[in-house]
């Protein structure tokens, strides 16, 4: 078994692997998306295990943000488990930055517990619905809205260059991703909350959301302005496709302790990419 860093030259093998392990139309089955996620060493890397037939049988991805390597897209074929391969792949990622993870599934949580990682308070997602809805309903609020945002479109950051999203930069410096097909504005950075709300409602969005870590002090301002934890709202977390009643449940872990001031950004890990948005 060979473990090494992957490159775009491995795409044909990776495509076969991703089609085998992921649902149809998963973002990683798109070459352009893979290049965005892993093609630039400033923002992410992909690490693979190859068998004697030169087939990909294991994968660990790393998204770089906040001087941390966020471990994502981890999978090892069953016959290869228990042989230390995953440890070797993690070591390749660790050579770049300290390791952390979000959005771990049940198997992942078991793995990180066995590896003695630190588990923090789960990420939180706040939601606010446009006040024009006196009695909001899921059907009305999560319906398409017509917005004119061409003057705000930007691709000046790596996150905004993600294939399939519309990144917006407003006059006050706040950033968001437009998801008008389900009525929403998914906030990335808040510089002035009141101006952001005024802009969103003026443009015609039905709702906004913002995801961050529990220790983000902006959360206090959100609560004062009537934003609520998503489980108390009608806006589900998964909207591509819509999964009614599915709310944010994103675990946050790290291999080594992080500063108490460390705040998880929407662009970290894979909870802010197409397929999660």
Site of tokens 């809805």: 133
Q: How confident is the model at residue 276 (pLDDT cuts 50, 70, 90)?
A: confident
For residue 265, name the pLDDT band (cuts at 50, 70, 90).
Answer: very high
Q: Give the CATH number of domain 2-119.
A: 3.40.630.30
pLDDT one-digit tens code per residue, 180-223: 999 999 999 999 999 999 999 999 999 999 999 999 999 999 99
Domain boundaries, the chain: 2-119, 124-246
Task: Find tokens 């905004």 and name the residue.
Answer: 160
- Per-residue pLDDT tens digits for 86-105: 999 999 999 999 999 997 78
pLDDT at 34: 97
pLDDT band of 42, cuts 50, 70, 90: very high
Q: Please tell me the predicted confidence (pLDDT) of residue 106.
A: 83
Give the residue carrying structure tokens 């078991």: 110
What's the whole-number mean pLDDT along residues 255-276?
91
């Amino acid at each position: 078994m060979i473990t090494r860093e992957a490159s775009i030259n491995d795409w044909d093998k990776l495509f076969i692997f991703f089609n085998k392990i992921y649902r149809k139309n998963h973002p990683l089955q798109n070459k352009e998306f893979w290049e965005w996620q892993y093609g630039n060493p400033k923002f992410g890397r992909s690490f693979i295990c190859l068998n004697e037939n030169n087939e990909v049988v294991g994968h660990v991805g790393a998204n770089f943000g906040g001087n941390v390597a966020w471990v994502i897209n981890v999978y090892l074929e069953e016959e290869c488990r228990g042989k230390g391969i995953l440890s070797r792949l993690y070591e390749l990622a660790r050579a770049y930055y300290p390791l952390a993870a979000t959005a771990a599934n049940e198997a992942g949580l078991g793995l990180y517990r066995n590896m003695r990682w630190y588990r923090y308070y789960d990420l939180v997602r706040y939601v606010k619905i446009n006040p024009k809805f006196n009695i909001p309903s899921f059907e009305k609020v999560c319906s398409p809205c017509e917005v004119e945002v061409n003057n705000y479109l930007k691709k000046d950051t790596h996150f905004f260059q993600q294939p399939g999203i519309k990144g917006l930069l407003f006059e006050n410096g706040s950033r968001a991703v437009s998801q008008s097909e389900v009525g929403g504005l998914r906030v990335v950075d808040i510089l002035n909350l009141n101006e952001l709300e005024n802009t969103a409602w003026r443009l015609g969005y039905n709702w906004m959301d913002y995801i961050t870590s529990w220790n983000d002090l902006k959360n206090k301002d959100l609560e004062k302005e009537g934003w609520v934890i998503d489980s108390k709202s009608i806006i589900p977390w998964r909207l591509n496709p819509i999964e009614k009643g599915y709310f944010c449940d994103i675990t946050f872990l790290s291999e080594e302790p992080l500063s108490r001031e460390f705040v998880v950004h929407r662009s970290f890990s894979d909870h802010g990419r197409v397929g999660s948005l």
